Structure 1
Amino acid sequence: MSYEHFSSYYDLLMEHVEYEEWLRYMERIFLEHNVNVDHVLDLGCGTGELLLLMDQKGWQVTGVDLSEEMLSIAQSKLQMAGVTPQLYQGDMSELPPLGLFDVITIFCDSLNYLDDEEAVKRTFASCYKQLKPGGMLLFDVHSPAKIKAFDGAVFADASKDVSYIWTSFAGEKPLSIEHELTFFALTKNGYYERVEELHKERTFESGIYKSWLEDAGFSLVEITADFLTKQPTDESERLFFACRKIDAG
């Protein structure tokens, strides 16, 4: 999977996304469960949009992403806003010790890019180790219904500088999906360059995530859906997990 070209167009593809919804979700959890927040680790931080919003809340933020290109954009974006970012390149399932955090987040279905069960388990275990006692892990994933709905879907958009075609089809593993992205980008010499990338995602049933979280030591606070406080249904598209580290250190 390559992010060489995707990173350049990520913000364009995500311009409809309201990152404030994730921020409001976090604030609700913190208020309802009496969480004192100082330092937040955001795994799969992408181009830093959510990091910027977190910083504006007065939280100290650290970001990790697999893509060096994504992190380069995030660094420039944060520095332009007067923020000195702490950014690290790496795989969330092979996370090195970065310190102890009050909160760790994995948002915008970043966890779904781990299509191996053991990789998800390693991620949960590493998050547990790097949380302070009483700290929280917050993440969202595509629901099984959403993954199934992707199969056969085609998205497209055209503008002067860049156009894209996004085709999704079922992957080889259960509850997995593959996205073929084709971009046509205007170059400096006036020609359009065609680039292609393949992205793979996989999800699991909520009960499986719950079991893996408990095995890692977490106490599950709540599972909700679609940025709301409601319980997930068969029609829910995005599942949210709020978990707490309950040991004394």
Structure 2
Amino acid sequence: MTYEAFAVLYDELMYDQPYDQWIEVTAPYLKGKHSILDLACGTGSFTTLLPKQLERVGVDLSEDMLTVAQTKDPSIQWLVQDMTALELDRTFDVITCFCDSLNYVTAEEELNVLFSRLYNHLEEDGVFLFDVHSVWKMTHLFNGQTYSDETDRVTYLWQTVPGEEEHSVYHDMSFFMLEEDGKYRRFDESHYQRTFEPEDYRTLLENNGFTVEKVFADFKPDEAVPHDAERIFYVARKKRER
């Protein structure tokens, strides 16, 4: 999934994303740190909000997305890589992967490899923060539902179709972008996501040398996770020995 033409529309369609809340979640783990890697950074809307005194690196699979990101802040290092095959030959104090990007890693074996690679890309005592769709959200909000939205220039229709695997979904989306000649140009995208139970993420993290420090939901780190939580956050710290 590379987004391709979707990169042109991405920021306009993501106008309501809570980037400031992702920053608030991350900020406590940036004190006294020097470097951060943002995985699946897209067009860099979150990455560019990170403190400028940090060395910031953004990685995404889509070169088109990173072309947009580069125009926002050329001082950030933008790299095209598949995060499941991450190889940067260096380490970071903090790694982030937000906006349910980890749900595109749909096999436990791939998650296991990814967590192992991230462990190797973290400094000792480094922190990995990420979020995923909850099982409840997959079951209740992505169960054959259809959504739509529009801006001045774009209208989109988004249908969710349950996948064959447990807790998985196909997102079938059609975008209609208004051109200068008054006609609409259509783009179609189909994305596949899958989530896992919290204990599955915890086990995979711990098997790869992480200590899970905190699990919370919906940008509320000091509250218990409700049964109908939509977005689950994980804070995992690299152990000093594996």
How high is the TM-score relative to the length of structure 2? 0.94
Query: What SS is found at the alignment partner of 1:22?
Result: helix
2:210 aligned with 1:215: no
Counterpart residue identity of residue 18, structure 2: E
Instruction: Give the 5 Å matches for 1:167-246.
Output: 167-228=159-220, 229-246=222-239
For structure 2, the residue ranges without an aligned partner over 5 or more in a row are: none
For structure 1, the residue ranges without an aligned partner over 5 or more in a row are: none
**Offset at 1:29?**
4.5
- C-alpha RMSD over aligned residues: 1.6
Q: Do the aligned residues in 2 keep the contact of 1:155 with 1:165 (CA within 8 Å)?
A: yes
Instruction: Give the 5 Å matches for 1:4-19.
Output: 4-19=4-19
Counterpart residue identity of residue 122, structure 1: V
Could you tell me which of 85, 106, 113 is aligned with 1:115?
106
When residues 37 and 11 of structure 1 are mapped into structure 2, their CA distance, relative to the original with a 3 A threshold, is same
| Aligned residue in 2 for 1:140 | 131
**Offset at 1:146?**
0.9
- Answer 1 or 2: which has greater helix percent: 1
**Offset at 1:124?**
0.6
Q: Deviations over 1:8-61 (max 9, x none)?
A: 11112211112010111112345xxxx6311000001011011111034x2211
Within 2, Cα distance between the matches of 1:132 and 1:29? Answer: 13
2:33 aligned with 1:60: no
* Count of aligned pairs: 240
Which consecutive aligned stretches of 4+ in structure 1 deviate over 3 angstroms post-superposition?
none
| Aligned residue in 1 for 2:144 | 152
**Offset at 1:104?**
0.5
How high is the TM-score relative to the length of structure 1? 0.91
Could you tell me which of 139, 153, 167 is aligned with 1:161?
153
**Offset at 1:227?**
0.7
Query: What SS is found at the alignment partner of 2:171?
Result: strand
| Aligned residue in 1 for 2:44 | 48
